[in-house]
Amino acid sequence: MHTTKYVFVTGGVTSSLGKGIIAASLAKLLQERGFTVTIQKLDPYINIDPGTLNPYEHGECYVTDDGAETDLDLGHYERFLNIPTSQANNVTTGRIYQSVINKERKGEFLGKTVQVIPHITDEIKNRIQILGETGNYDIVITEIGGTVGDIESLPYVESVRQMLWEKGEENAIVIHLTLVPYLAAAGELKTKPTQHSVKMLMQSGVSPDILVCRTEHEISDDIKRKLALFCNVKQEDVIQSIDAETIYDVPNLMLAEGLDKVVLKKLKLTSKQEPKLLTWNNFLQKHKNPKHQVEIALIGKYIELQDSYKSITEAFIHAGSSHETKVNVRWIHSESLTPDNFEEHLKGVNGILVAPGFGDRGIDGKIKAVQYARENNIPFFGICLGMQMAVIEFAKNVLGLVDAFSTEMKSDCRNPVINLMQSQEDVTEKGGTMRLGAWDCKLVKNSLAYEAYQTENISERHRHRYEFNNEYLQQIELKGMIATGTNPKTGLVEVVEIPKHPWFVGVQYHPEYKSTVLKPHPLFVAFIKAALKQSKD
C-alpha cells in the first residue's frame, strides 16, 4: 500500500523567515529525486480565504485552477514545482470553524459538546490528510502559518502533535524554521531565540526533527553543535539557511546543506536519483548573467507593498531569464499619475503594465498610462483591471465616447463599455463570488496572443466581476481594437489587441498566476521580447 509521508514546517522567533520558500525548496529537491510532492499552507486567521483581504494585509491574493483564492505562498509552490495547487492546498481557521459549525447545525455531532479538541483539531487533521488520501503524493509538506507561541496557532500545533503520534516517526516529521540573529556589537550569532522557540514548541508536546536556521552569517560547527545540544536534535539536523541573493538560489543552498537528505533519512525513504536541477540552474544562470536590460513601468495602487504584485514580478523574472534580460521595474503609483505629469513619469520606459485592481482609486492614472503606451507605441500589457482600462481609454479617446467607463466605478455611466456580468447582478456576498479560476479561451489565429501561445485553445485563471460589454464590440473593432480571445461558450471577451500598435495586449484573466521557472508564461515572454525590441529601436 502507498503510504504518504508528512512533513510539517513550523516557524519560530519571528514571522517573515520565508517558511514558504524553504518548503518550496525542499519540495523541489524531493521532486528532483523522483518523489511526488505537494505543499499545503494552513493559515491561522479567521477569514475564510484571503479573497476579501486588502493586499496591504498579506500581499497578493493568488488564485488556483479550481477557483480558490489563496495565500501568495501557493504561488511560490507552483512556481517552484511546476504543478498546480488547489483549494485543498490552503486552509484557514475560518474555513475549519465554518465546516465544524456547519456540521454542528446539521446535528452531526449527535448531541456532543463541540470543542477545540477534538473537533477543531480533527477537522484540521482531515484537511491535512485530504491531500495524502488522493494517493497522488509520496510526500505532503504542510506549512503552518504564523509563529509558534501565537494563541491562534495552538490548535494547529496540537493537530501536528497528534498526527506525529498517529503516523509514527517514520511517516511524519517536523522542520522548525528559526532565526539565528547576529549581534554586531557582540560580533556573535545568538542561539537563545532558537532555544526559546524550540522550548515553546516542546511545551505543546512537539519536538522538532530538523532545525532550519535563517542567518545573515555562516553558522559555524560550534554553533550548530550548541543548537543541536540545546534543542535536542542531531548536529546534522541543524541546517543553515543563509540570506540569498534571490529566492531561486534557495533549492541549491538547501541541497548543499543536505536538507533533503536528512528529511529522507528520517522518513526512511530511499531516493531514486540525485537532484540535478538542470533546467532550474539553466534558468538561474541566465537570470544572474543578463545580457540585456529593459525597464517596465508597473502601474498599480498597492505599490507600497510590492508583495501585492508578487506573481507579476516573478513572471517578469521567468520571462526575463528566457531572453537573458534583466527586467527593471519602475513602480508607479496610479494615484501619482496626473494629466500634467504622466509623460514625465513614463518617459523612457520600454513597456507599460497596468496591473489588476479593484475600485476607483487611481483609475485616471491608469487610463493615462494606457493612453501614453498606445499613442507612443510603447509595448502595453493590461491585466484584468488593466485590460478594462485599455478598453475604456480606447472608447474615450478613439471612439470619442467621452463618458465611457466601467459600472464598477460609475454605476450610472452612459457608455458602460465594461459592465457587470448578468450572473453577477444579484450577488450580494463579497467572499468567493467573483468569476474565479480556470476558464477556456479561444484565440484568433495570427494575433499577438496566438503568436505567443502557439495554440488556439488556452485556459487561464480569472478573478473579477466585470466584463467587456459586447454591445460595444463592433464599434470598438471597427476603430482598430480587436477581440482576439473569447470564451468559446459564453462569448465573453478575454483578450484585446491593437494590431496597428507594435505590441498592445489586454487580458481579462491573470496570466501571471501560471508562470513558473520551468514554464515562463508565453505572454510575459512575448511582452519582454517586445520591450527588448523597443529598447533597441
- Shortest CB 118 distance to ligand GLN, Å: 40
Please name every residue paired with 460 in a beta bridge, in sequence order, or none if there are none. Answer: 439
Q: Which is nearer to ligand GLN, 372 or 466 (CB)?
A: 466
Catalytic residue among 384, 393, 464, 521: 384
CA–CA gap between residue 247 and residue 227 (Å, rounded): 25
Residues 251-310 that bind ligand GLN (CB under 6 A): none
Judged by beta carbon, residue 40 or residue 388, the one nearer ligand GLN is: 388
Site for ligand GLN in 333-362 (CB under 6 A): 356-358
- In this structure, are strands 139-144 and 5-11 parallel, antiparallel, or unpaired? parallel
Cβ proximity to ligand GLN: between 176 and 461 the closer is: 461
Q: Which of 35, 248, 394, 466 binds ligand GLN (CB under 6 A)?
A: 466
Q: Which of 60, 69, 494, 512 is catalytic?
A: 512
Active site residue 323: no
Taking residue 8's Cβ as centre, other Cβ atoms within 10 Å add up to 28
Pick one of 464, 501, 514, 521: the residue that binds ligand GLN (CB under 6 A).
464
Q: Which residues pair with 457 in a beta bridge?
A: 442
Is residue 510 part of the annotated active site? The answer reads yes
Q: What is the closest distance, in whole angstroms, from the C-beta atom of residue 388 to ligand GLN in the complex? A: 6
Residues near ligand GLN (CB under 6 A), total: 10
Residue with smaller CB distance to ligand GLN, 90 or 308: 308
Record the cell numbers describing residue 107, joined without a space.
446535528
The amino acid that residue 105 corresponds to is: R
384-423: which residues touch ligand GLN (CB under 6 A)? Answer: 384-385, 408
161 binds ligand GLN (CB under 6 A): no
Nearest CA-CA partner of 64 in 80, 83, 47, 45: 83
What is the sign, positive or negative, of the torsion defined by CA atoms of 436, 63, 429, 91? positive
Q: How far is the CB of 386 from ligand GLN (least distance, A)?
A: 7
CB closer to ligand GLN, 55 vs 146: 55
Min dist CB 520 to ligand GLN, Å, is 21
Q: Contacts from 391-395 at CB under 8 Å and sequence distance 24+?
A: 391/417, 391/418, 391/468, 391/476, 391/481, 391/496, 391/506, 392/367, 392/417, 392/418, 393/367, 394/476, 394/479, 394/481, 394/498, 395/472, 395/476
Q: Least distance (Å) from ligand GLN to the CB of residue 367?
A: 14
Cell numbers found for residue 388:
478594462
Q: Judged by CB, which is closer to ligand GLN: 208, or 357? A: 357
Q: Which of 386, 316, 394 is nearest to 358 (CA)?
A: 386
For 425, the grid coordinates are 447582478
Query: Minimum CB separation from ligand GLN for residue 399, in Å?
Result: 21
- Which set of grid coordinates corresponds to residue 90? 490552503
Contact string 368-387 vs ligand GLN (x = CB under 6 A) = ----------------xx--
Q: Which is nearer to ligand GLN, 384 or 492 (CB)?
A: 384
Residue 384 annotated among the catalytic residues of the structure: yes
Taken in order 146, 148, 152, 153, is the CA torsion positive or negative?
A: positive
Among 465, 501, 514, 529, binds ligand GLN (CB under 6 A): 465
What is the gyration radius of the CA atoms in the chain, in angstroms? 25
* Residue positions annotated with a catalytic role: 384, 510, 512
State the residues that interact with ligand GLN by CB under 6 A. 356-358, 384-385, 408, 463-466
